[in-house]
Amino acid sequence: DSGVTQTPKHLITATGQRVTLRCSPRSGDLSVYWYQQSLDQGLQFLIQYYNGEERAKGNILERFSAQQFPDLHSELNLSSLELGDSALYFCASTQQGLARETQYFGPGTRLLVL
Amino acid sequence: AQTVTQSQPEMSVQEAETVTLSCTYDTSESDYYLFWYKQPPSRQMILVIRQEAYKQQNATENRFSVNFQKAAKSFSLKISDSQLGDAAMYFCAYRRKGADGLTFGKGTHLIIQP
């Protein structure tokens, strides 16, 4: 158990819909990262937040957005969902958001878009 | 952009034998970090080992060790005394110094033959 929690574990929805994935980092960690794992694209970095502020952006689509709240939990919002958005979405956390730190991953949210 | 290449989609090894997984990367940076993550069937991402580019000494964690060749941009993982619990997908990952996410390779599926 990494200490990072993600809800829900599974999500099934239809094309065109909007969903919100939630992540709680390890106790004391200020930085949160979101990743997408799909068969087509592999594991891709989406976005990083540090203490409520966006710090780095990866291959995140404009239909996707994220935020980190004062209690440090983070939410990833996916809208206008397409079949290709079906994937495993991971959240990871580190204490300071530094490159040398190990990123601890949550168990993931499996999204299926029908 | 940085890229990480794992040229072996699948590897098979007998239990108790030694196996080496290959990883090469492309970067113009001089300071960066390299990681090997394991993803068992549960899909949890688990850190196996990490290497700082500025360190010449190869990292070792129990039965896991790396061969880091900076000039060749190569970062292979050696697993000694393979155990059934080592069966998993193994991902090589790169992170440059500074605020950024991990760049992953496509992964190597490791099969352990009893």
pLDDT over 80 (residue B1): no
CA distance B100 to B102: 7
Percent of chain B with pLDDT over 70: 99
Q: Which residue has the tokens 């404009």?
A: A62
**CB B110, CB B91: distance < 8 Å:** no
Query: Does any CB of chain A come closer than 8 Å to the CB of residue B76?
Result: no
pLDDT in tens, A19-29: 999 999 999 99
List the single residue in B with minimal CA-CA distance to A107: B44
pLDDT of res. B107: 97
Question: Min CA distance, A14 vs chain B (Å)?
Answer: 24
Confidence check: pLDDT of B98 > 80: no
Residue B42: closest CA among chain A residues belongs to which residue? Answer: A107
C-alpha distances out from residue A104 to A48, B7, B16, B19, B102, Å: 13, 26, 29, 26, 12
Q: Is B90 on the interface with A (CB under 8 A)?
A: no
Q: What is the pLDDT of residue A28?
A: 92
Positions in chain A whose pLDDT score sits under 50: none
* Interchain contact, A43 vs B91, CB within 8 Å: yes
